[in-house]
Structure 1
Amino acid sequence: MSTVREIMHPGADCVRTEETAADAARLMARLGVGALPICGKDDRIKGMVTDRDIVIKVVAEGRDAGTFPAGDLNQQEAVTIGADDSTDEAMRVMNEHRIRRLPVIDGQRLVGMVTVADMARTMPEPRVGELVESLSEA
């Protein structure tokens, strides 16, 4: 059985709570991603922000992305997975919470991200199909 560490994208970046929605958007654009963890001054994950969150909570509401705190964009407490947890456990967590991107931690430190695409490359097709079906209902 493989571990999350074996399939994750190592070295995930995060937007800081004291940064702005515009900072988050620029970081997403630079990295070519649609979601980022939000980290506090203590380097712990406080939540996740997606490009959709920025559009719905900032742009559509007519707020200034240059002053809107990134820390106010988090949806809820972040769901994470341990780097040494099994890929089966990661699949279960993604299914349970209906999430496509899962921050990977080692202790309390962010060390990477695991995505549905990572799962698709490593898990048996029926299991991946179940995950994609679950996410499609979200």
Structure 2
Amino acid sequence: MTTESAGKTVQNVMHQGAQCVGEHESLRTAARMMRDLSVGALPICGDDDRLRGIITDRDIVIKCCAEGKDLDRTEAGELAAGLVWVEAHSSIEEALATMAEHQIKRVPVIDERRIVGMVSEADLAKELPDNKLAEFVHRVYAHG
């Protein structure tokens, strides 16, 4: 890359300090955390503080509300989907490739086996030069 983004890693553009919802916390708790943090996804962490997956606001609506499940009795861990992450020192392109491969728009960032943040496709796309951005947009939106 020939722009100022050359050499930047995921750690340079991620949202630091992602808060986890515990795997045994209710979906109501997860939804309130999302509201209070103004986010659409939360990492789910186990009792050992390790990443178990991620839950999105859409997951709560589709897999709980629409199915008639109880928000207070359904645990976040029951909806933990896709144990996908990127390393903090990964390149922007590596992270985008991982997200495209798994068809996800945001992913937890791990450093030394601990979650240190979250990064979205939009965060990463801002760092791409115009020619790479056009390629990225085509790849992401050509599917649907």
The reply to whether TM is greater than 0.5 is yes
Counterpart of 1:46 in structure 2 is 52
The runs of 5 or more residues in structure 1 that have no matched partner are: none
2:117 & 2:74 partners in 1: Cα distance? 26
Could you tell me which of 128, 131, 138 is aligned with 2:133?
A: 128
- Preserved contact between residue 99 and residue 135 of structure 1 (Cα < 8 Å): no
Could you tell me which of 96, 105, 123 is aligned with 1:91?
A: 96
- Preserved contact between residue 10 and residue 124 of structure 2 (Cα < 8 Å): no
The runs of 5 or more residues in structure 2 that have no matched partner are: 1-6
Counterpart of 2:66 in structure 1 is 60
1:112 lines up with 2:120 in the alignment: no
The answer to which of 63-72 and 126-135 deviates more is 126-135
SS in 2 for 1:46: strand
Counterpart of 1:6 in structure 2 is 12
Q: Which amino acid aligns with 1:86?
A: S
Which structure 1 residue ranges, 4+ long, deviate > 4 Å from structure 2? none
SS in 2 for 1:122: coil
Q: CA RMSD in A?
A: 1.4
How far 1:134 sits from its partner (Å)? 3.5
Change in CA separation of 1:13 and 1:47 when aligned onto 2, cut-off 3 Å: same
Q: How many residues align?
A: 137
Q: Which amino acid aligns with 1:118?
A: D
How far 1:97 sits from its partner (Å)? 1.2
1:18 & 1:107 partners in 2: Cα distance? 24
- Preserved contact between residue 38 and residue 71 of structure 1 (Cα < 8 Å): yes
For normalisation by structure 1, the TM-score amounts to 0.92
Identical counterparts, % of pairs: 48
For normalisation by structure 2, the TM-score amounts to 0.88
